[in-house]
Structure 1
Amino acid sequence: MRDTLLIVLFAFLGAAAAGLLGAGVLLLIRRRSVVAHLAVVAAVAVTAMLAGTLAVAQAMFLSSHDLSVVTTVVAMATVVSLATALLLGRWVVGRSKALALAARSFGDGGDFTTPEGPATAELAALSRELENTSARLAESRERERALESSRRELVAWISHDLRTPLAGLRAMSEALEDGVAADPDRYLRQIRTEVERLNDMVGDLFELSRIHAGALALSPSRISLFDLVGDALAGADALASEHGVRLVGDRVEPVPVEVDGKEMSRVLGNLLINAIRRTPADGTVAVAAERSPEGVVLSVTDGCGGIPEEDLPRVFDTGWRGTHARTPPAGAGLGLAIVRGIVEAHQGRATVRNIPGGCRFEVTLPVPVPEG
């Protein structure tokens, strides 16, 4: 028993000395290639075995012949271990370089493609994460391009819509100033109309800026959709009569919702104005409100003839107007963008889809928590 304990002690001391030496070497070369690290690890393993063997041999007073045999065996093991470690290290380094090169491609704006060939579990997991990151970056770049396109369109439309009324205001004011206006009262009424248009446009821009800045402060209260829709229909009745469009709101359930009444009135007003302007004379604009498994659905259906399928994803983008044939006489393409911003601020969503003869805008709001 005592001999066994001595063997364990001497073997441990020899191996511990080799291990400490190897740890020191690894600390010194910690910034070097993984090949060097694997070589050191293999050398430490063999050296620890050799040191332990030599210590035990000295303690047990082995013959020189036996000691040389053991040393030769350990030396051969050292050669094989180091060769294996170097081969493994070169393979891992090669896979790492291929992975780094592929990662550089999507860092420069391309897409990441996993290098071909086998890889360790860790490198394979890293490749999958890089693929996911590449996909998210591609989506982000696409959103950025779409946003930049919307901004350019918005600037173009705003410039156009500002130039026209401002030119008219200048001409009418100069005519009044020079005293050549045939009907000053008509000029004054027209000036007021144009000023109100400009004021509405500035108001839309301010509302949209608050939405984008996350500064839209809501004051929710429990109200009935029946009352909300009724007020919106009454407010849009004059515009509908002017365009010869019939408003219908006979499918409105008295469903309670927890919303900011002022902001949701703006949502309904924008949807109704959009629908009326795009519906031909003698057409119908219908409003409905009902419960659904997803929440409370408020819809506005028009007779615009439909929206091209490729334009449907952009309907709620800032500055979007669609084709020139569907461009309204006023506005800068902000109404539907404001609708989406306000609805999303209420934790809801706004969607649009084509139906026979027109399109249907839907606003889905969460069901309010029951009182009591």
Structure 2
Amino acid sequence: MKDVLLIAAFAFAGAACAGLVGAVALRLVRHRSVAVSLTVVAGVTVTAMLAGTLAVARAMFLSSHDLWVVTVVVAMASLVSLATALVLGRWVVAGSRALTLAARDFGEGGSFAPPHGGATAELAALTRELAATSARLEASRARERALETSRRELVAWISHDLRTPLAGLRAMAEALEDGMAAEPARYHRQIRTEVERLTGMVGDLFELSRIHAGALALAPSRVSVYDLVGDALSGADPLARAHRVRLVGDEVEAVPVEVDGREMTRVLANLLVNAIRHTPADGTVAVAARRRAATVVVSVTDGCGGIPDEDLPRVFDTGWRGTEARTPPAGAGLGLAIVRGIVEAHAGRAEVRNVPGGCRFEVTLPAAAG
């Protein structure tokens, strides 16, 4: 037992000396390629084994021949180990360089293309993370491009919608000022109508800017969906009568929700106005509300004839008004964008889909607890 402990002590002393030298070497090459570090590690391993073996061999007083044999065996093992470390290092470096080039293209605004060939588990995990990040960034760029396009369209449409009533107001004001108006009372009524139209447009823009800036302050309270829908139907009834459209609200459940009553009334009003304007005379606009699991789904179904499938994803975009047939004369394409913004501020979602004869807008809100 004493001989074994002595041999272990000599082997440990020799290996420790080699390990200390290797640690210093690794510190010196820590900024170099991983291939160099792997070679140093392999060299330290072999040197530690050689040092420990030689220390034990000398302590055991082996013959010169036996000592030479042991040295040759360890030297051959060292060569194989170093060659293997170099091959492994070059493989890891090649994978790292390929990943670096792919990441460089990704950083310059392109999409990330994973390099071909095998890689270590760590490099493979990094490749997957970069690919996932690239997908998220591409989706973000697509949303940004869509938002910029929508913003440019909105500016163009708002400019057009403002120019027409302003030109009319200027002409009527000049006619009144010059005494050329045959019916001043009619001009006054028309001016009031145009001013109310512009006021509504500016109000929508202000509301939308608050939503986009995250400055929409909500004052939620516990209310019944039945009451919200009832108030919205009452407010939209005059417009429905003027367009000869029938409003139906028979399938509304009295489900409680925690919402800002004023903002949600605006949501329902916008949906109803949109549905009434796009439903032909003698048509029907139906409102329904029902509980679905832990949510409440409020739907407004119109008789517009449907929306093209390619336009469905854009219905709630800012400034979108679709075809001329779906463009209200006083609208700027802000109503449905406001609907989505308010609903999402309530942790809900707004959706639209085609149904036979028209389309259905659905607002999904969390149901109130209890």
Q: Please give the TM-score of this superposition, normalised by the length of structure 2.
A: 0.96
AA matched with 1:29? V
Query: What does residue 105 of structure 1 align with?
Result: 105
Partner in structure 2 of residue 165 of structure 1: 165
Which residue number corresponds to residue 128 of structure 2? 128
Report how many aligned residue pairs link the two structures. 370
Paired residues for 1:260-279 under 5 Å: 260-279=260-279
Look up the match of 2:305: 305
Name whichever of 17-26 and 64-73 sits farther off. 64-73
1:255 CA displacement = 2.3
The CA deviation string for residues 171-195 of structure 1, in whole angstroms up to 9 with x for no partner, is 1111112221111121111111111
Q: Distance between the aligned counterparts of 1:294 and 1:367, measured in 2?
A: 6
Q: Secondary structure at the match of 1:321?
A: coil
The structural deviation recorded for 1:234 is 1.5
Equivalent-residue separation in structure 2 for 1:345 and 1:174 (angstroms) = 45
Aligned to 1:138, the other structure's residue is in SS state: helix
**What code does the residue aligned with 1:334 have?**
L
Listed as ranges, the matches of 1:136-155 within 5 Å are 136-155=136-155
Alignment of structure 1 residues 166-245 onto 2, 5 Å? 166-245=166-245
* Counterpart-to-counterpart distance in 1, 2:89 and 2:251: 73
Q: Match for residue 347 of structure 1?
A: 347
8 Å CA contact 2:255–2:367 kept in 1: the answer is no
- Matching residue's letter, 1:38: L
Partner in structure 1 of residue 70 of structure 2 = 70
Deviations 1:35-59 (A, max 9, x none): 1111101100011111112222232
Q: Determine the C-alpha separation between the residues in 1 that align with 2:169 and 2:227.
A: 39
- Specify the alignment match of 1:290 in structure 2: 290
Alignment match, 2:53:
53
**Amino acid in structure 2 at the alignment position of 1:120:** T
Question: RMSD over aligned Cα, in angstroms?
Answer: 1.4
2:94 and 2:149 mapped to 1: Cα distance? 42
Higher deviation after alignment, 268-277 or 71-80: 71-80
Of residues 288-297 and 30-39 in structure 1, the stretch that sits farther from structure 2 once superposed is: 288-297
TM-score, normalising length: structure 1: 0.96
Does the 8 A contact of 1:229 with 1:268 survive in 2? yes
* Letter of the structure 1 residue corresponding to residue 171 of structure 2: A
Off by >4 Å, runs of 4+ in structure 1? none
Q: Give 1:114 deviation, angstroms.
A: 2.5
Q: Give runs of aligned pairs for residues 326-341 of structure 1, distance below 5 A.
A: 326-341=326-341
CA distance in 1: counterparts of 2:235 and 2:3, whole angstroms:
103
Q: Are residues 1:365 and 2:341 paired?
A: no
SS at match of 2:110: coil
Helix, strand or coil at the partner of 1:352: strand
Question: 8 Å contact 1:294–1:364 — kept in the other structure?
Answer: no
Residues of 2 paired with 1:113 and 1:35: CA distance?
25
- SS at 1:319 equivalent: coil
Q: Secondary structure of 1:142's match?
A: helix
Secondary structure in structure 2 of the residue aligned to 1:331: coil
Question: Could you say which residue in structure 2 is the equivalent of 1:40?
Answer: 40
